[in-house]
């Protein structure tokens, strides 16, 4: 193995993660350089390197690539000014002319088995439903339905992963809530959704 590559990987991982007021399931992973604030991540999910995830609930079996931004604070567009010099609390600018409370940050919801590609931006308050795919570099400003594939800036729906019957059957199965033992038993059908559903019945 190339020593320079190995050394760079070690340095990348040494940066650590910033997790605050959050919970991460013991089977899940937040990679180095990422911020995970006021958020929750369920089982067998991960986010890659250098992500920023704020005020977000993430379900099980989600795959979030590198440099993804989800959620974040909203500036008060109905005030005369949007600068933090008028907000309460600490911020980037030290000066305070007033300390008015902003509206609470919107909660972003990423359901189960969602895949979000590199460098995607997800606006605060959006809901990305189970089984959805967000293509790399996408800017998501609207909710995304179950098993839909979206991409672009702004993101638009490209297609659905399955037909409506299969989508409904997969949602009804709630396979992500099964025990590890049951999932392992059915894993042989991971490439064949129809057989997976038949085994479930």
Same domain, 38 and 127: yes
Same domain, 67 and 116: yes
Cα–Cα distance list, 41 to 62, 113, 175 (Å) = 9, 12, 17
Catalytic residue numbers read 75
Q: What is the CATH number of the domain that holds 112?
A: 2.160.10.10
Same domain, 150 and 130: yes
Could you give the percent of the chain with pLDDT greater than 70?
94
Same domain, 65 and 120: yes
Same domain, 132 and 197: no
* DSSP line for 95-154: --S--BPPPPPPPEEE-SS-EE-TT-EE-TT-EE-TT-EE-TT-EE-S-B-TTEEEEETT
Q: Is the pLDDT of residue 71 over 70?
A: yes
Alpha-carbon distance of 110 to 84, in angstroms, equals: 28
pLDDT digits (tens, 9 = 90+) for 95-134: 888 888 888 889 999 999 999 999 999 999 999 999 999 9
pLDDT band at 78; cut points 50, 70, 90: confident
Number of structural domains, the chain? 2
Alpha-carbon distance of 67 to 22, in angstroms, equals: 19
């Amino acid at each position: 193995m190339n020593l320079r590559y190995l050394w760079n990987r070690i340095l990348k991982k040494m940066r650590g993660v910033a997790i605050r007021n959050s919970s991460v399931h013991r089977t899940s992973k937040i990679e180095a350089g990422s911020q995970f604030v006021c958020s929750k991540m369920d089982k067998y999910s991960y986010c890659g390197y250098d992500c920023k995830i704020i005020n977000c609930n993430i379900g099980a079996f989600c795959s979030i690539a590198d440099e993804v931004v989800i959620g974040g604070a909203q500036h008060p567009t109905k005030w005369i000014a949007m600068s933090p010099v008028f907000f309460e609390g600490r911020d980037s600018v030290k000066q305070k002319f007033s300390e008015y409370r902003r509206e609470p940050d919107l909660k972003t919801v990423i359901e189960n088995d969602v895949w979000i590609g590199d460098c995607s931006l997800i606006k605060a308050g959006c809901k990305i439903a189970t089984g959805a795919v967000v293509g790399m570099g996408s800017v998501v400003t609207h909710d995304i339905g179950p098993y839909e594939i979206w991409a672009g800036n702004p993101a638009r729906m490209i297609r659905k992963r399955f037909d409506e019957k299969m989508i409904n059957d997969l949602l009804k199965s709630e396979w992500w809530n099964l025990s590890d033992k049951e999932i392992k038993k059915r894993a042989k059908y991971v490439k064949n959704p129809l057989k997976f559903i038949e085994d479930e019945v």
